[in-house]
Structure 1
Amino acid sequence: MPRDTLTRDQIVTTAVQLLDDEGLEGLNMRSLGKRLGAAPTAVYWHVKNKDDLVVLVGDHVWQEVELPGIDPADWRTAAVAMADGLHAMLCRHPWLVQALGSHLFYGPGKARYDDHSLAVYEAAGFTGAEADRAAAAVFTYVLGNAVGASAQASLTRRLGRDGGDPEQLFQETLAKATEVAERFPRLRARLGSAAADYNAAPDDTYATGLHALLDGLTAAM
């Protein structure tokens, strides 16, 4: 595809697909150009470098989070919807979790989410710095809960590139973790339960923690 027919939207859409398939470590201008049917140099007419592309694409996927209506009498429904939407987006694009640790994201997509998040907590009665802290606390909680999925996706890709068997490694690691857990009474008592799976947690752990966090923020007002 010649550079004069290549658009930024095409680059962004294709980069999202590449990142979803190959992760942050698999993104380079050569691979992106191949998917676009264009020379790598054509991409540079639209983005300065890989870091700029990651910031552009990362801001783009923030647009996927739907913004709920806000009812001051039922603000928690909106708060939970925004948190759940963000969590689902981060799990769809696990590379973004990794990129948040190495890039400074900004742009209309993220600003749109951040602004609406503040509106939710202001509707709840949080003011000024209180609204900022509430929004930041929930964002940090959601991000932390998406780290496991991001790490597993990255590890699976790396093992696949190295010719390893991800499932076999997970099972071997689980067996080693079980041996260690046998030495600790509370962990030993949970062996055989769903919580015994490597890096697992009981069902509804995310939802329980989110509601507990919102309870605590409300109580601190």
Structure 2
Amino acid sequence: MTAPKAEDTSGAPPKNTGPTRRRLPRDTLSRQVILDAAERVAARDGLDSFTFQSLAKEVNAHPTSLYRHFRDKDQLVRELIDDLRARSYGGLLKATDSWREDLRTSARYIHEHYLRYPQFAVQMAARTTRRPTEFANVEFALDALLRAGLDEADAAKYLRVFGNVIRSLSSMEAGMLALDPETRDGDTLAWQLEYRRLPAEQYPRIAAMTGELLDIGDPTVFDTAVDLFLDAIEARAEQARENRSTPTEG
């Protein structure tokens, strides 16, 4: 007969004899593995809320192992934003013989990118990543603006304005997509229903044009904004050329 086991009177918690999650071997935790996991965690918890602890849990590693690849969360966020850009349109921006079409193509890629990752729109619009995809985008846009006929000072100014306008419009539409479906549908239907019910005596212009009003996500809005901006660049470049060719009175 087997003697009974002695009772444990130490007060220590019982040992966990169940299955445990094995941490990844050190050589399998690469920067890309971390970035892929960061995208999943940020999409679930929000880019502002996720931590190295939650990220380490996602990849089944110790938090300190992440610091071998990224100095801090800010560096990781900037790398993630640039990595998402690269996935969307990295290497696709190729200069043609039309500066207008090149800028239009750039705007379209950026717009589509924001709508693809709406949960990251605010951070993408606000951050300067200092990373390869961003550098390539700036180089591409500057080259197009110079080919339009602008001088370097104006090209640098319009680069900033063009980028801000495109990102602002794109993040606004992306923000709408990030709303819960009920809220989003309510806002969209307001332009089709509630505006049409407004009293004409109080809002005569709205009442006369309710059939023409567009909601935020209407695709023609973004395209029209890009066309207006390109028209303005062309007009200013033409004026600059005329000023340079006109002799000054001395």
The question of a shared fold, defined as TM-score above 0.5 by the shorter chain, is answered with yes
Number of residue pairs matched by the alignment: 206
Aligned mates of 1:86, 1:144 — CA distance in 2: 11
Is residue 2 of structure 1 aligned with residue 25 of structure 2?
A: yes
What displacement does 1:121 show? 1.5
Equivalent residue of 2:149, what SS? coil
1:93 corresponds to which letter in structure 2?
Y
Equivalent residue of 1:141, what SS? helix
More helix by share: 1
What displacement does 1:187 show? 3.1
Give the corresponding residue for 2:51: 28
Q: CA RMSD in A?
A: 2.9
Aligned mates of 1:119, 1:78 — CA distance in 2: 10
Provide closer, same or farther for how the CA distance between residues 185 and 21 of structure 1 changes in structure 2, counting only shifts above 3 A: farther
1:36 corresponds to which letter in structure 2?
V
Equivalent residue of 2:41, what SS? helix
Contact between 1:91 and 1:150, CA under 8 Å: does it hold in 2?
A: yes
2:203 to 160, 179, 184: 184
- Segment drifting more, 20-29 vs 47-56: 20-29
Aligned mates of 1:214, 1:21 — CA distance in 2: 38
What per-residue deviation string (whole Å, max 9, x for no partner) do you get for residues 46-102 of structure 1?
21222221111112223232212231xx22111111111111112222344311466
- Segment drifting more, 87-96 vs 6-15: 87-96
Alignment gaps of 5+ in structure 2 = 1-23, 238-250
What displacement does 1:200 show? 4.5
Provide closer, same or farther for how the CA distance between residues 176 and 208 of structure 1 changes in structure 2, counting only shifts above 3 A: closer
Equivalent residue of 2:107, what SS? helix
Identify which of structures 1 and 2 has the higher relative contact order when contacts are C-alpha pairs closer than 8 Å and 6+ apart: 1
Contact between 2:56 and 2:63, CA under 8 Å: does it hold in 1?
A: yes
Aligned mates of 1:192, 1:214 — CA distance in 2: 28
Give the corresponding residue for 1:45: 68
1:186 corresponds to which letter in structure 2?
R
2:232 corresponds to which letter in structure 1?
G
Aligned mates of 1:58, 1:111 — CA distance in 2: 13
- Segment drifting more, 103-112 vs 180-189: 180-189
Contact between 1:61 and 1:109, CA under 8 Å: does it hold in 2?
A: no
Aligned mates of 2:203, 2:59 — CA distance in 1: 53
Give the corresponding residue for 1:58: 81
Give the corresponding residue for 2:167: 143
Percent of aligned pairs with the same amino acid: 24
TM-score norm. by structure 2 comes to 0.69
Equivalent residue of 2:28, what SS? coil
Alignment gaps of 5+ in structure 1 = 157-165
What displacement does 1:122 show? 1.6
- For 1:150-189, what aligned pairs fall within 5 Å after superposition? 150-156=174-180, 166-167=181-182, 169-170=183-184, 178=194, 182=198, 184-189=203-208
If you compute each CA radius of gyration, which structure gives the higher value, 1 or 2? 2
TM-score norm. by structure 1 comes to 0.77
